Amino acid sequence: MKAQGRLAGRCWYTLALAVLAVGALSVAAVSRDDEHVSENDEQSDSVRLKTPTGKAESVPEGRRYLDASLSVDERVEDLLARMTLEEKLGQMTQIEVDSVNPGDVAHYGLGSVLSGGGGVPPDNNPEAWADMIDAFQEEALSIRLGIPLIYGVDAVHGHNNVVGATIFPHNIGLGAAGDAELVRDIGEATAIEMLATGASWNFAPVLAVPQDIRWGRTYEAYSDDTDIVTKLSVAFLEGLQSIERLPLVVGTPKHFVADGAVEWGTSEHPEGWRIDQGDTSIGEEELREVHLAPYKAAIDAGARTVMGSFSSWQGVKLHGRRDVLTGMLRDDLGFDGLLVSDWGAIDQIDPDYRTAVVTAVNAGIDMNMVPYDAQRWVGTLKAAVQDGDVPLERIDEAVRRILRVKFEMGLFEQPFAVRELLPEVGSKNHRALARRAAAASVVPLVGGDRLPLDRSVGRVLVAGEADDVGTAAGGWTITWQGRRGDITPGATILQGVEEAVSAETHVEVSRLGHTDESAEIGIVVVGEAPYAEGVGDVEVPALSEEDHGIIARARAHVDTLVVVVVSGRPLLLGTATDLADVVVAAWLPGSEAAGVADALFGVEELTGTLPMAWPDAIDQIGPGRAKPWLPRGHSG
């Protein structure tokens, strides 16, 4: 039924284009074959499309909003004037794919559907994604006003829920690379892979400026320095939004604001998280200087959507703060796009759901990432509007912003997946870019003068997690938390070593570092197993006992010991720095982790520097920390 709908939609669209192509001035009749059309004064309306060359036909009686030759504001006002309260509330609703039942898109007139981490079609491949999203889109187009939905994903290091997509290094590694041009290219490649599957809304970049590496989201940020975060997040956003084909992809600076300032021990998350979603007590000046500044730059660079932060500021949840969401974001920074809530974050404002909803909407949230129960949200907000607790003008304002973004993106003109881009998903070019990025993010912590390694070495021992795509990719890969193992195609660090060394070199692999032979070079990959968000909050970020064991075993058999730390943040390395000749930080290099070996063996130049300080004792972590072992900017 959905498939038929898509074909019908397609046929209509193709036909309309064909009519225009032969220069016919007659009006292509639109019949929306649909039982949902209730108030059918609109049903037999006629439409003319903007020609591909931009020459507009005269037209639509009735549905002026479909006339692409009108200004965005005219289209928004025309459409808004036709909408019922229910239709408006539907536009303000975003539901996660796993909670969307058949018929819900049409029933609620959903403004948006998202894939959370791991919200994937049963058969997880790029084409199945396109089918899934197009089917939602057909349903959205099939109802009375035919407003396209906007499909959201967290493509935070590539289109990372999709098996077969290119997985780029997480942002902390790109902070180490420090190359805006590279990050821009990654934004562009990510947009192309998204468009191929029908997703045009990216919940990225993260603008957090994290001040405490115990936070499980540290790796989602580029750096703990405002200027680096600003430079690279703007580069990503510009790359992402630069693809000149419809629909335009939009990015989402998040999480507004000061999520990176949360303090250890303040989280009230029911699963025992310690810092994520917690509180920051910093003063307004610091909030503005350190944490708000990147938003100003991102908005000036064309950000059209922003996401709120789960966290609170001075004890009050940010999703309920009008002084911040409207005062700072709108009045001070001049943002006129769409403000979306984070995942169920409105619910945390107040134990009474209705109070929470009224507070958030009046504070300035335009769309709610509900994400589970549409009925509860829509019903509650509707009652609040009818009782006058939320003014209708506030609803109109929110819907205006949502529609404006959809019109600007060209979603009304081209709502579907751009399938001719499917071959670009995980393409050779994109993987080469990711591999270059992985190489560029490598930072020598100690012994950098012993690099590059000799490619014609006789024997190399490789130990630890060197052959694991999942570990190198980290959280937010295929699933929310990520996981070890062959979760998606990629080229591992081991593969990179094998490619870098000479044909005569013998590469021995021993995960735990056991061997009977000695080797000139040992490469031991240790660090963190994948995690995301508060699940990754840890009191003492450090190498594990197991890691130390592997390092010690390998040490006994090799001349030059290279320890590669794969992690989402700096870790306390303990005796590893004494045992190893070389220690490098590789962060979370992604599916093309082979690039790390390229950097070690001189296939690529070593240019990375620390995007944040690296401690070697616990008192160097968190607010008021002691002078760090290695400062930001270090490379050695």
Instruction: Give the binding site for ligand BGC (CB under 6 A).
Output: 116-118, 154, 203, 254, 342-343, 480, 533
Catalytic entry in 87, 276, 279, 533? 533
Least gap, CB of 286 to ligand BGC (angstroms):
23
Closest to ligand BGC by CB, 118 vs 448, is 118
In the complex, minimum distance from the CB of residue 530 to ligand BGC, in angstroms, rounded to a whole number: 14
User: In DSSP terms, which residues pair with 367 in a beta bridge?
Assistant: 340
My answer on whether omega of the bond before 247 falls inside 30° of 0, hence cis, is yes
Of all residues in the shown chain, the one whose CB is closest to ligand BGC is: 116
By C-alpha distance, which of 156, 351, 340, 359 is closest to 256?
340
Question: Could you tell me the end-to-end alpha-carbon distance of the chain, in angstroms, rounded to an integer?
Answer: 61
Closest distance of CB 351 from ligand BGC, Å: 18
Nearest CA to 441 among 117, 166, 251, 186? 186
Catalytic residue among 45, 134, 342, 547: 342
Smallest distance from the beta carbon of 116 to ligand BGC, in angstroms? Answer: 3
67 is catalytic: no
Looking at the Cβ atoms of 168 and 203, the one nearer to ligand BGC is 203
- From CA 466, how far away is CA 589, in angstroms rounded? 12
Q: Which is nearer to ligand BGC, 218 or 620 (CB)?
A: 218
Q: Which is nearer to ligand BGC, 412 or 531 (CB)?
A: 531
The two tokens of residue 576 are: 């590893």
Q: Under 8 Å CB-to-CB from 318, ≥6 apart: which residues?
A: 256, 257, 258, 308, 309, 310, 311, 312, 324, 325
3-state secondary structure of 546: helix
**Residue with smaller CB distance to ligand BGC, 207 or 521:** 207
Q: Is 98 assigned a catalytic role? A: no
The sheet with strand 312-313 has its strands ordered as 279-280, 312-313, 316-317
Residues in CB range of 554: below 8 A, 6 or more apart: 461, 463, 513, 515, 522, 524, 561
- Cβ proximity to ligand BGC: between 118 and 379 the closer is 118
Minimum distance from residue 172 beta carbon to ligand BGC (Å): 15
- Amino acid letter, 24: A
Closest CB 294 distance from ligand BGC, rounded Å: 16
Token pair of 78, please? 């025309």
Can you tell me the distance from the alpha carbon of 89 to that of 382, in angstroms, rounded to the nearest whole number? 7
Q: How far apart are CA 439 and CA 437, in angstroms?
A: 5
Give the residue numbers annotated as catalytic, written as ranges.
342, 533
